Structures are given as C-alpha cells and as structure tokens.
Amino acid sequence: MTSKTTQRKSRARKSKPLTSREKVRAHRARLRAQGMRPVTMWVPDMRSPKFAAEARRQCLLANNSRYAAADQAWVDSMIDGKTD
C-alpha cells in the first residue's frame, strides 16, 4: 500500500515536461493576469556603422555650434541635478 504523498509525487513525475512554447505562453498569461501587455519597440541599431557615422556627424555639428558652450553647460547642470 502506498501513501497519498507517494502517489502524488509519482503522478507529478509522469507529467510531460513543458515545451519552450508552452512555458512562454504560461509566462505571458501570468503577465497579462497582472495587467501587463506585450509591446514591440523598434529602436536604432547602435552597432550599425550608419548609426555611428550619423552620431559622429551630429556631434561635430553640436561641437562646432556657436551655442556649444551654453549647450554643454546645460547638459552639465542636468547631470549635477541643478536646474535653472
């Protein structure tokens, strides 16, 4: 005669492991139950040579601007937590 605990453990072991798809589905269901929703967001690929070239171009424009010193002072004040 086996105990109920032993029977439960043996039943649990017999269940088929979840596939990745099933795990993801369950995870998403839990998140939705918490009031969350999935969002896909497309952002620039910062590893791209085109992105690097455009960032460099914009940095050179900003550095050579007649407002460069004032702009940098503003950025520094934001970093320090000061606002004017």
pLDDT of residue 6: 62
> Is residue 76, in this structure, part of any structural domain at all?
yes
pLDDT at 53: 98
Residue 44 maps to a domain: no
The pLDDT, as a whole number, for residue 80 is 76
CA distance 36 to 7: 38
Contact (Cβ atoms closer than 8 angstroms) between residue 83 and residue 77? yes
> Does residue 73 lie in a domain region?
yes
Higher-scoring residue by pLDDT: 78, 1: 78
Give the pLDDT confidence of 13-66 residue by residue, as tens digits. Answer: 678 999 999 999 999 999 999 999 999 999 999 999 999 999 999 999 999 999
Residue 56's domain spans which residues?
49-80
- Please tell me the distance from the alpha carbon of residue 6 to that of residue 15, in angstroms, as a whole number: 15
Residue 19 lies in a domain: no
How many distinct structural domains can be found in the chain?
A: 1
pLDDT at 44: 95
Calpha distance 51→43 (Å, rounded):
11
Q: How far apart are CA 8 and CA 53, in angstroms?
A: 62
68 within domain boundaries: yes
